[in-house]
């Protein structure tokens, strides 16, 4: 299976698509970061990416990420934690991930802050927003975002860097444009309020099916798994 997947060519296609989408929308391609979502994929495939110059990876399971980091043992790599995080797993993530994309409760933020204090680090986080109000998704509802920010903004060892969303699964990526635009407007709105301790410049949105639309709508981070590594096989 693995041998059939041409990671090098997949990566260059994704980078080219991002570049085209940036051009179409008058954006600087350097303002967009690609996270290679390596969840469920073996270290051997991650190494192939590294050989192609890609050093930013995303994982959604705390222990899987920690063991891959230990195995690869490479300080040049950046790891983003993008999955739902339980409080008892925070210890595996804080200090390992350069950013946690999935903060969706005050208790989780509190646990991340406590672990960051313990380790003497500042933890960059994103607030996960359930932008389409789907029952099946984690995340804060857009209407609750200001209360949420108020509750977490004074934790000394977390830095709120922006917003993240997992858009609905759709056949036509254009259907998600409205959600990406909504998330961006939310970020602009938050910044316009000049809340103490809060300035956000990260918009993590767009996956294999819709990252080009997300870039057109202002994504600064796109998270692409299948488009680089091929389909995931869950056993
Ligand atoms: C798995 C995952 C991705 C990547 O999804 P693809 O459709 O394979 O690109 C992106 N973001 C999150 C939060 C994920 O869990």
pLDDT, one tens digit per residue, over 36-84 is: 999 999 999 999 999 999 999 999 999 999 999 999 999 999 999 999 9
């000049």: which residue's tokens?
194
Round to whole Å and give the CA distance between 125 and 233.
Answer: 29
Please report the DSSP string for the chain in residue order.
-GGG--HHHHHHHHHHHHHHHHHHTT--GGG-EEEEE-TT--HHHHHHHHHTT--EEEES-HHHHHHHHHHH--TT-EEEE-S---GGGHHHHBTTBSEEEEE--HHHHHHHHHHHHHHT--EEEEEEB-TT--TT--SB-GGGHHHHHHHHTT-TTEEEEEEE--PPP-SSGGGGHHHHHHHHHHHHHHHHTT-TT----EEE---TTTHHHHHHTT-SEEEESHHHH------
The pLDDT of residue 71 is: 98
Measured in Å, residue 39 CA sits from the centre of ligand 1 at 8
pLDDT at position 57 is 98
pLDDT band at 3 (very low <50, low <70, confident <90, very high): low
For residue range 174-212, list pLDDT tens digits in order: 999 999 999 999 999 999 999 998 999 999 999 999 999
Residue 6: predicted pLDDT? 95
pLDDT tens profile 152-182: 999 999 999 999 999 999 999 999 999 999 9
Nearest CA to 90 among 69, 70, 119?
119
Say what the pTM is. 0.97
Closest ligand 1 atom to Cα of 232: 8
Pocket test for ligand 1, best of 207, 219, 228 (most atoms within 8 A of CB): 207
CB-based pocket (< 6 A), ligand 1:
37, 39, 60, 82-83, 166, 207-209, 223-227
State the chain's mean pLDDT as an integer: 96
Task: Report CA(1)–ligand 1 centroid distance (Å).
Answer: 20
**Alpha carbon distance 198, 207 (integer Å):** 26
* Average pLDDT estimate for 130-148: 97
**% of the chain beyond a pLDDT of 90:** 96
What the block records as the tokens of 123 is 């933890």
């Amino acid at each position: 299976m693995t041998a059939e997947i041409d990671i090098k060519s997949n990566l260059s296609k994704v980078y080219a698509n991002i570049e085209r989408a940036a051009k179409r929308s008058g954006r600087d391609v350097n303002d967009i970061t690609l996270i290679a979502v390596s969840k469920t994929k073996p270290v051997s495939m991650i190494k192939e990416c590294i050989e192609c110059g890609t050093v930013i990876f995303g994982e959604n399971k705390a222990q899987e990420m920690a063991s891959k980091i230990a195995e690869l043992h490479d300080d040049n790599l950046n790891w983003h934690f993008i999955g739902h995080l339980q409080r008892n797993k925070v210890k595996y993530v804080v200090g390992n991930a350069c950013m946690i994309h999935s903060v969706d409760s005050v208790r989780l933020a509190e646990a991340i802050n406590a672990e960051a204090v313990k380790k003497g680090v500042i933890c960059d986080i994103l607030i996960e927003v359930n932008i389409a109000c789907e029952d099946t998704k984690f995340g804060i509802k857009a209407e609750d975002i200001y209360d949420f920010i108020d509750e977490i903004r004074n934790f000394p060892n977390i830095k709120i860097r922006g917003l993240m969303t997992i858009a609905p699964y759709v056949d036509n990526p254009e259907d998600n444009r409205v959600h990406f635009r909504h998330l961006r407007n939310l970020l602009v709105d938050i910044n316009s309020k000049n809340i103490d301790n809060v300035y956000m410049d990260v918009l993590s949105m767009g996956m294999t099916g819709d990252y080009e639309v997300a870039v057109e709508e202002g994504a600064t981070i796109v998270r692409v798994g299948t488009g680089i590594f091929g389909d995931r096989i869950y056993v």
